[in-house]
């Protein structure tokens, strides 16, 4: 069989690929033992930058035991999003965190009145005024998140949010 110039034939290149793979693994193992890795994660109970030893003891989700604060911090709002969406699975939790961060940066009092149709958006998930949701739900972090969860379940998608195009 004649070999064409520039054509890749695995049976001829396999030894070279095998050697390259082994060198890659060896380099990764050696480099991994010399590099100190620092992790960043979201946690309302720990500092935002944590050491690797703290990561091992970190639990993905935990409930806030006391009543919700009237004006929660963005970290507390993010934890509320995790708590409310966790029964839908980790993929949906991740999407909910991204959507809510994109919409309001996890601020319970987020507000936008610059819509071209004259409507306004408010709260964590920026609920639009066309939905006729009362202000006490739109600007209450937990109630806003629960409304967004119900809307997501009813619609079966994040289509009601403008940030859904970034998923």
Q: Is the pLDDT of residue 159 over 80?
A: yes
Instruction: Tell me phi and psi for residue 129, to 5 degrees.
Output: -65, -15
Instruction: Tell me phi and psi for residue 44, to 5 degrees.
Output: -75, -15
Give tens-digit pLDDT for 5-58: 555 555 555 555 556 655 555 555 544 444 444 444 444 444 444 444 444 444
Q: Is 132 exposed, middle or buried (0-12, 13-18, 19+ CB in 10 A)?
A: exposed
Q: What is the DSSP string of 65-106?
A: -SPPPSS--HHHHHHHHHHHHGGG-HHHHHHHHHHHHHHHTT
Q: Is the pLDDT of residue 164 over 50?
A: yes
**Stretch 149-163: mean pLDDT:** 92
Which carries the bigger pLDDT value, residue 71 or residue 54?
71
**Stretch 134-150: mean pLDDT:** 94
Return the SS3 of 140: coil
**Stretch 93-105: mean pLDDT:** 94
Domain ranges of the chain: 10-37, 63-166
Buried b (16+ CB within 10 A) or exposed e, 98-115: bbbbbbbebbbebeeeee
Q: Looking at the domain that runs over 63-166, which CATH code has it been given?
A: 1.10.530.10
**Stretch 49-75: mean pLDDT:** 61
If you average pLDDT over every residue of the chain, what do you get?
A: 76
What confidence score (pLDDT) does residue 156 get?
93
**Stretch 79-83: mean pLDDT:** 94
Please compute, for residue 118, the number of CA atoms within 13 A of its CA located in the half-sphere on the CB side. 0
Reading the block at residue 48, the tokens are 């935002």
pTM exceeding 0.75: no
Q: Is 164 exposed, middle or buried (0-12, 13-18, 19+ CB in 10 A)?
A: middle
Give tens-digit pLDDT for 116-139: 999 999 999 999 999 999 999 999
């Amino acid at each position: 069989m004649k070999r064409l110039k520039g054509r890749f034939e695995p049976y001829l290149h396999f030894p070279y690929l095998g050697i390259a793979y082994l060198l890659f693994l060896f380099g990764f193992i050696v480099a991994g033992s010399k590099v100190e890795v620092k992790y960043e994660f979201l946690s309302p109970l720990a500092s935002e930058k944590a050491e690797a030893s703290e990561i091992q003891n970190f639990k993905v989700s935990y409930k806030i035991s006391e009543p919700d604060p009237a004006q929660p911090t963005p970290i507390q709002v993010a934890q509320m999003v995790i708590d409310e969406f966790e029964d839908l699975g980790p993929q949906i939790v991740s999407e909910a965190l991204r959507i809510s961060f994109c919409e309001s940066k996890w601020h319970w009092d987020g507000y936008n009145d610059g819509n071209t149709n004259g409507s306004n958006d408010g709260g964590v998930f920026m609920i639009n005024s066309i939905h006729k949701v009362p202000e006490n739900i739109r600007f209450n972090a937990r109630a806003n998140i629960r409304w967004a969860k119900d809307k997501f379940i009813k619609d079966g998608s994040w289509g009601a949010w403008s940030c859904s195009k970034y998923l």
